Structure 1
């Protein structure tokens, strides 16, 4: 089975429901993990806004996810996993919240790792990427879009 990340809340390439954004409840969507590669010791997850330049905006940083979990439930961090800091320097999920009326692309990227990671709770994307560098066995992506309809055009 192919390593894959899906969500019953939205299909890849389609709009993320507002419930999971700053315009709604600002909670993470239910995510389903398929086909974890044999030998995976842990999973890591990054959620980034691909359309904030020059650097992508990080909305969720999670590591040491149990590879046998199979899912990340709505409005919850995976049991036993650790969460780092997002773009607001806060722990946990930060829903899509573009500051302009253009649609933004949000990338959920899941990594299968050959080890568990020892990171400080203050770790963000760069620390996670550095720690994972030589331990990534496979990756999979789920992309959703979001545009705020209540913003006036710039």
Structure 2
């Protein structure tokens, strides 16, 4: 009888230990998947909502477009390890031909994780040591949406995490050149797509 109890006791002990190990493995897997989900590189804005319409404050302010031409407020989180700086672009993929560059900025320090509204015109970016491209309106800095009347266009705002600090870019160089140099140093990106039509 004593021996039988001992066998039952040992079997029970083994079962409980197996159960505990399984529980720990399940918890570890859950925590690791949550960590991966929480670690996604993301971009948000106080002015813009993904899939939403660009407000008047961010619309271009020349010709038929009567907006504020303020670059949007942007915040990014969880940049990849090894990030040494950031760059931002805004591109209209629905414009005829090769698309339309509205904004390209590089040289944003790795310690920065947000830009205030109107960072382009207010001098905020210059104080950071960042440089801005010449957009397709032929002006330096931000140029808001101003599509021809008709179907709304999609505007892709992308923040890039870079593994380099000096991209050999200067203020006023073409946005296409910025895009090329940013692409050579990018180790991750997050984007926000918004719409605007007239």
Give yes or no for TM over 0.5.
yes
Q: Structure 1 regions of 5+ residues with no counterpart?
A: 149-154
- Secondary structure in structure 2 of the residue aligned to 1:134: helix
Alpha-carbon shift at residue 125 of structure 1 (Å): 2.7
Q: Per the alignment, in what secondary structure is the counterpart of residue 94 of structure 1?
A: coil
Q: Which residue does 2:82 correspond to in 1?
A: 39
> 1:86: Cα distance to partner?
0.2
Higher percent of residues as helix: 2
Task: Note if contact 1:36-1:67 (Cα within 8 Å) is conserved in structure 2.
Answer: no
Aligned counterpart, 1:94: 143
State the match for 2:50 in structure 1: 12
Q: Which is richer in strand?
A: 1
Does structure 1 residue 76 correspond to structure 2 residue 119? yes
The alignment covers a number of residue pairs equal to 148
Match of 2:170 in 1: 120
In structure 2, stretches of 5+ residues that fail to align are: 1-38, 61-65
Query: 1-side partners of 2:183 and 2:116: how far apart?
Result: 27
Provide the residue aligned with 2:68 in structure 1: 25
Larger relative contact order (CA 8 Å, sep ≥ 6): 1
- Divergent runs of 4+, >3 A: none
Aligned-residue offset at 1:21: 0.2
Q: Using structure 1 for the length normalisation, give the TM-score.
A: 0.89
Are residues 1:131 and 2:174 paired?
Answer: no
Deviation readout 1:1-54 (Å, 9 max, x if unpaired):
211111021211111111110232111111111111121111111101111021
**Retained in 1: the 8 A contact 2:104–2:179?**
no
SS in 1 for 2:154: strand
Cα RMSD of the aligned pairs, angstroms, is 1.4
Larger Rg: 2
